[in-house]
A and B are shown apart, each in its own frame.
Chain A
Amino acid sequence: MSSIHPLKLFPVKKVFFFPLIFVTVTLVVECSVAGVDMRYSIWSIVNQALKGNRGWTPVWREPEPKLHYDIVIIGGGGHGLATAFYLASRYGMTNIAVLEKGWIGSGNIGRNTTIVRSNYLLDGNEPFYEQSLKLWEGLEKDLNYNAMMSQRGIINLYHSDAQRDAFIRRGNAMRLHGADAKLLNKNELQKMCSFLDFENARFPIMGGLLQPRAGTARHDAVAWGYARGADQRGVDIIQNCEVTDFIIKNGTCTGVRTSRGKIQADKIGVAVAGSTSRVMAKAGLRLPIESHVLQAFVSEGLKPVIPGVITFGAGHFYISQSDKGGLVFGGDIDGYNSYAQRGNLPVFEDVCEGGMAIMPMIGRARVLRNWGGIMDMSMDGSPIIDKTPIAQLYLNAGWCYGGFKATPASGLCFAHLLARGEPHKVATKLRLDRFQRGAMLDERGAGAQPNLH
């Protein structure tokens, strides 16, 4: 139900006002008696409310790892869980395990700023992200789970004639691939976002590129929804199970060693985001990836002020407002290699300065929380979904800081690759050897550097 968001203020689609009770129905839960097969409905909520909410049961099982699976997926983040879900739901494979070293949602899937969009330029990227957005639009139906997908739109601001021209080009590329894009001039933008500092002396705001179908989704719910959907179809989700080594015989990977014992598999898919280099080094591979920390920030809850997602075109700053009212914002990576899941204050300051440059009204909001996540920054800013030089070992990585929006398509394409042994048609360019072949997917045309996205 992508249209229930009450804060949806962009006049790009009609706002539907569902009766409160209906919204509640989608948010809430019916607990069927059958243990882990939890369903959500108004009856269970009422029932549980009367019983002091003590009857809820776990949403997925906690199985012991088996000795052998058809496919083992390493990493229980969004991408690993989505891969398992699509393998089970679309490719009919259910003898699958997802191995997660911590708990589901402890990685970047639970740390991101939840922006979902498909406003890319290049042929190798745009069809992939548009496929992802289409999957987002049907996700809650697919999962029967409220991921709070809210298509409130994204506006990339432009501040110069050259930038406007670049955005026109990007908007046209998007439309050619079936996505939606609209160029806003200053007047149109002023009607939507009067609070922006249009006359800023250094970075005057001239307009923006709007993608109305973009928006935000509840990141934790995405992980939980995929986990429940996969579990219901028989996938084993094994938490607290760290992969420590690969079993490789004559160039073929036949399984993994984990903190919970040896597990054999016909195929192994790695989707460990920021830990990619560390994990793949165990298979002797060096990759075109660096791990960097990206920070996110949330303010105290405020009344609805920010209608959708807004990004600064002259500095690095993006912002949206969560359903609870907190301003959710972020900016650039800190810039140095890191596995620390926390950043430093100079970047915090830089992000806040970016915010003040475009919307001074947020200057008095207090920041409540900030945190960091470890990004798998590829050297051209685009991801990799491909085989590796080791037979039966497959790689899903290089998501930089845009991998949340990619979650559904990444899962689908990785599932396709694992099940069929060939790339999905929207992921044919996301190859590991593109760096050696000179076929980079560099959206910014910036050359080899690990700070693109």
Chain B
Amino acid sequence: MIINHPHLGPRDAAEFTILGDADLLKRPDWQAGNADYAFYHYLYLRDNPAGLHRELWFHECGDRSWLIVTRDTVTHAVLDVALARDVALSSKKPKVGKGARAAKKARTKKPAKGCIAEDSPK
């Protein structure tokens, strides 16, 4: 896989490490009333789609920047790359790239229902 780094151009994926779903940027509020439930979702549950997936990659052997890569998990094609910093800073106004838009479309199809009802754990 080749990742087209916004600053450095096309780089081999072996220079990077992956952290996982880009939703990890959306850390829940630890002081909210339902923080334990929100953190259970944040830490453990995943959409894990077959198709477009937005994910966090770290350029460990390069400029050590964090990227958001939009990738197809069925073909391994890399469709869009953005600096995670830019995405996080503009998170109120979601970045509308080609891949980001497609990924958003793919994501909204998924029901975001938890696998366990939102009552307190038994």
**Residue positions of A touching B, CB distance < 8 A:** 277-278, 280-281, 284-291, 335-340, 344, 346, 379, 388-389, 432-433, 435-437, 448, 450
Name 7 A/B residue pairs within 8 A (Cβ), A-sorted: A286-B110, A288-B45, A290-B48, A389-B116, A433-B116, A435-B40, A436-B44
The residue that B121 contacts in the complex, of A284, A286, A287, A433, with Cβ under 8 A, is A433
What count of chain B residues pass the 8 Å CB interface test? 36
The residue that B48 contacts in the complex, of A337, A389, A433, A437, with Cβ under 8 A, is A337
Q: Judging by beta carbons under 8 Å apart, are A435 and B44 in contact?
A: yes
Q: Judging by beta carbons under 8 Å apart, are A289 and B116 in contact?
A: no
The residue that B111 contacts in the complex, of A284, A340, A437, A448, with Cβ under 8 A, is A284
CB of A234 to closest CB in B, whole Å: 33
Contacts of A287 in B (CB 8 A): 45-46, 48, 115
Contact with A along B37-70 (1 / 0, CB 8 A): 1001101111111100101000000000000000
| Interface check B91, CB cutoff 8 A | no
Contacts of B75 in A (CB 8 A): 340
Which of B13-21, B26-34, B81-89 touches A?
B13-21
Q: How far is the CA of A436 from the CA of B50 in the complex (A)?
A: 25
Q: How far is the CA of A284 from the CA of B117 in the complex (A)?
A: 12
Q: How far is the CA of A448 from the CA of B39 in the complex (A)?
A: 12
Q: How far is the CA of A450 from the CA of B24 in the complex (A)?
A: 14
CB of A447 to closest CB in B, whole Å: 9
- Asked if A437 meets B71 with Cβ closer than 8 Å, knowing A277-B46, A335-B17, the reply is no
The residue that B45 contacts in the complex, of A286, A336, A339, with Cβ under 8 A, is A286
Contacts of A389 in B (CB 8 A): 115-117
Q: Judging by beta carbons under 8 Å apart, are A436 and B121 in contact?
A: yes
Q: Judging by beta carbons under 8 Å apart, are B46 and A290 in contact?
A: yes
Question: In chain A, what residue has the closest Cβ to B48?
Answer: A277
Q: How far is the CA of A284 from the CA of B113 in the complex (A)?
A: 6
Q: Judging by beta carbons under 8 Å apart, are B113 and A286 in contact?
A: yes
**Residue positions of B touching A, CB distance < 8 A:** 1, 12-14, 17-18, 20-21, 37, 40-41, 43-50, 53, 55, 71, 73-76, 110-117, 121-122
Q: Judging by beta carbons under 8 Å apart, are A281 and B110 in contact?
A: yes
Contacts of B45 in A (CB 8 A): 286-288, 435
Of the candidates B21, B112, B113, the one having the most CB atoms from chain A within 10 angstroms of its own CB is B113
Q: Judging by beta carbons under 8 Å apart, are B113 and A285 in contact?
A: yes
User: A291-B48, A291-B73 given. 16 additional CB < 8 A pairs?
Assistant: A277-B46, A277-B47, A277-B48, A278-B50, A281-B47, A286-B46, A291-B50, A337-B20, A337-B53, A339-B74, A340-B73, A340-B74, A344-B1, A379-B44, A436-B121, A437-B121
Q: Judging by beta carbons under 8 Å apart, are A346 and B14 in contact?
A: yes
Q: Judging by beta carbons under 8 Å apart, are B76 and A340 in contact?
A: yes
Q: How far is the CA of A344 from the CA of B12 in the complex (A)?
A: 11
Q: Judging by beta carbons under 8 Å apart, are B110 and A388 in contact?
A: no
Contacts of B12 in A (CB 8 A): 346
Contacts of B122 in A (CB 8 A): 433, 437
CB of B20 to closest CB in A, whole Å: 7
Q: Judging by beta carbons under 8 Å apart, are A388 and B50 in contact?
A: no
Contacts of A289 in B (CB 8 A): 46, 48
Question: In chain B, what residue has the closest Cβ to A346?
Answer: B14
Q: Judging by beta carbons under 8 Å apart, are B50 and A448 in contact?
A: no
Q: Judging by beta carbons under 8 Å apart, are A337 and B112 in contact?
A: no
CB of B103 to closest CB in A, whole Å: 13
CB of B81 to closest CB in A, whole Å: 14
- Asked if A339 meets B47 with Cβ closer than 8 Å, knowing A284-B111, A346-B13, the reply is no
Q: How far is the CA of A411 from the CA of B68 in the complex (A)?
A: 40
The residue that B71 contacts in the complex, of A277, A291, A336, with Cβ under 8 A, is A336
Q: How far is the CA of A340 from the CA of B73 in the complex (A)?
A: 7
Of the candidates B14, B20, B48, B76, the one having the most CB atoms from chain A within 10 angstroms of its own CB is B48
CB of B78 to closest CB in A, whole Å: 10
Q: Judging by beta carbons under 8 Å apart, are B115 and A448 in contact?
A: no
The residue that A436 contacts in the complex, of B40, B48, B73, with Cβ under 8 A, is B40
Of the candidates B49, B55, B73, B117, the one having the most CB atoms from chain A within 10 angstroms of its own CB is B73
Question: In chain B, what residue has the closest Cβ to A288?
Answer: B44
10 cross-chain pairs, A with B, having the tightest CB-CB distances, nearest first: A277-B48, A346-B14, A288-B44, A435-B44, A339-B50, A285-B115, A286-B45, A284-B111, A284-B113, A448-B43
Q: How far is the CA of A389 from the CA of B121 in the complex (A)?
A: 13
Q: How far is the CA of A340 from the CA of B50 in the complex (A)?
A: 9
Question: In chain B, what residue has the closest Cβ to A275?
Answer: B50
Of the candidates B1, B115, B121, the one having the most CB atoms from chain A within 10 angstroms of its own CB is B115
Of the candidates A337, A379, A450, the one having the most CB atoms from chain B within 10 angstroms of its own CB is A337
Q: Judging by beta carbons under 8 Å apart, are A337 and B73 in contact?
A: yes
Contacts of A290 in B (CB 8 A): 20, 46, 48
Q: Judging by beta carbons under 8 Å apart, are A337 and B121 in contact?
A: no
The residue that B116 contacts in the complex, of A280, A338, A339, A436, with Cβ under 8 A, is A436
